[in-house]
Amino acid sequence: MAHRIVLLGAPASGKGTQAQLSNEHWSMPIISTGELLRREHNLGTPLGLEADRFTSLGKLVPDEVVVGSVEAWLDAQPGTKGFILDGTPRTLGQAAALDELLCRRDIPLTDAVLLEIPPEVIPERVRLRVVCGRCGRTFQVGDRVLSAQAACPVCGGTLERRKDDTAEALAQRLEEYEQKTTPLIPFYDARGLLRRIPADGAVEAVFERVCMALESAEKPRGEGPR
């Protein structure tokens, strides 16, 4: 059975990082709304410029913009059975719209993976985060890259700090997360889809926990994730 996963978690909990590892491990396509919006902004499209009015302040982009982007992505990948949604949904409105969209296409969600990190590690992760302007991959200064001025270790592109990685925007993003996104935890728990993952510790150790959680959720049906 194909997995259709949403990744939930506070800002900088590692959603993009774990989505990337899942993609490399299972060749599962990723729909990352954060990355998609940053790419649109770099291209200067109306969608990117509109989204930047919200993201640069640490605010959530309106539900219809985000759900429309997911629908456009699905339209461009006909026949897609398995995928990871990195960072969507972030509100109950998005969750309901997503449910409706996926059920209409007969590809309902199978897992909601919640990455849980202690709040005190978040500012440091944000301070050290850099993103490649060319391939969109995220790194931590001091891990695979030695400084923010280094080249991207994957494609050689230029690394950049994210515009929303400021103390002010982070405070706003944390508030948005508490108010608008945490209600999704009981929402998916009630549907039997929630998998809680302790997300501190090494990136690879966290990924092992993700794999184990997906495999044990799958066990009664006798197959591994793909």
| Residues at the contact surface with ligand B4P, assessed by CB under 6 A | 9, 11-17, 33-34, 37, 54-55, 60-61, 66, 87-90, 94, 125, 128-129, 138-140, 164, 173, 201-203, 206
Judged by beta carbon, residue 39 or residue 218, the one nearer ligand B4P is 39
DSSP assignment letter at 158: B
Q: In the bound complex, what is the minimum distance in angstroms from residue 19's beta carbon to ligand B4P?
A: 7
Beta-carbon count within 10 A of 119 CB: 8
What's the closest the beta carbon of residue 223 comes to ligand B4P, in angstroms? 27
Residue with tokens 């495999």: 215
Active site amino acids: 15, 90, 129, 162, 173
Using Cβ positions, the residue closest to ligand B4P within the complex turns out to be 34
CA distances from 46 to 10, 50, 148 (A): 28, 6, 29
Helix, strand, coil % over all residues of the chain, rounded to 5: 50, 15, 35
CB of 179 to ligand B4P, least distance (A): 13
Q: Among residues 88 and 110, whose Cβ is nearest to ligand B4P?
A: 88
In whole angstroms, the minimum distance from the beta carbon of 69 to ligand B4P comes to: 9
In which residue are the tokens 């909990």 written? 13
Q: Which is nearer to ligand B4P, 118 or 223 (CB)?
A: 118
Q: Which is nearer to ligand B4P, 210 or 214 (CB)?
A: 210
Check: CB of residue 94 under 8 Å from CB of residue 67. Answer: yes
- 24: helix, coil or strand? helix
- In angstroms, rounded to a whole number, what is the distance separating the alpha carbons of residues 205 and 53? 36
Single-letter amino acid, residue 42: N
Contact 19, 140 (CB under 8 A): no
